Structure 1
Amino acid sequence: MICTKCNSEIPEGEQCLHHGKMLCEDCYLEVLEPPRTCDVAAVYGAKLARKMAGQEGSDGLTELQKNIYNYINETGSVTAEQIMNKFNLSKLQLERNFAVLRHCELAHGFIENGKKMIKVWGEDTLGKMNIAD
């Protein structure tokens, strides 16, 4: 059986039916629980957990998240497309990793000249936005 969303083969017994479409588990979870970057409870939880663990900066991030954070930090303002191209990521992969950076208040989205951009977290966090919008 083939996933109607990502076209990957679904092992027997692992298919999920959602609104008449046959999905693999990954696509099914994405439909039910998409990444949410602007989540007050997640930000509070992430900041508290990092504080209790003594983590600062990129401490506690995966290698990919550290690389994305360092790329944004070194480059300045970047688009989601630049990050996806640099690290060969799908939109979903970027959104999942960006959500972690956003919840840890390490990066945020903003609009510049009508274009959605991402930069490291700073004092000028007005205009925060979800990159998936």
Structure 2
Amino acid sequence: MICNKCKHEIPEGEQCLHRGQMLCEDCYLQMLEPPRTCDVAAVHSAKLARKLAGQEGTDGLTELQKSIYNHIKTEGPVTAEQIMNKLGLTKLEWERNFATLRHCELAHGFRENGKVLIKVWGEDTLGKMNIAD
């Protein structure tokens, strides 16, 4: 059986029916609980967990999350599409990993001239600290 969303083969017995679509587990979970970047409880939890673990900066991130963060820090502000293209990410991979960076208050999005750009948390568009962020 093939997933209606991602088109990957679904092992027998692992298919999930959701709103008339046959989905793999990953796509099914994404439909039920999509990544949320603006989640006050997740931000609080992530900050508290990192503090208790003694983590700062990119401590505790996956290699992919570190790559995303470093790209934003080096090239930012950038669009999500630029990051996905540079690192070869799917939209779902981008959303899941960016949500983690956002919850850890390491990166965030903002609008400029009608475009959504991503930058490192606490830096203005010129790379200087911005107290208002």
Question: 1:17-49 CA distances to partner (integer Å, 9 max, x unpaired)?
Answer: 001110011100000000000000000000001
- Match of residue 118 from structure 2: 118
Aligned pairs for 1:1-133 within 5 A: 1-122=1-122, 123-125=131-133
Give ranges in structure 1 of 5+ residues lacking alignment.
126-133
Instruction: Please state how far the C-alpha of 1:76 moved relative to its aligned partner.
Output: 1.8
TM-score (norm 1): 0.92
**Once the two structures are aligned, what percentage of the paired residues are identical?**
77
1:97 partner SS: helix
Q: What CA RMSD, in Å, does the superposition of the two structures yield over aligned residues?
A: 0.8
**Structure 2 spans left out of the alignment, 5+ residues:** 123-130
User: Residue type matched to 2:107 in 1?
Assistant: A
Pairwise CA distance, 1:124:
4.2
Count residues with an aligned counterpart. 125
Counterpart amino acid of residue 15 in structure 2: Q
TM-score of the superposed pair, with normalisation by structure 2: 0.92
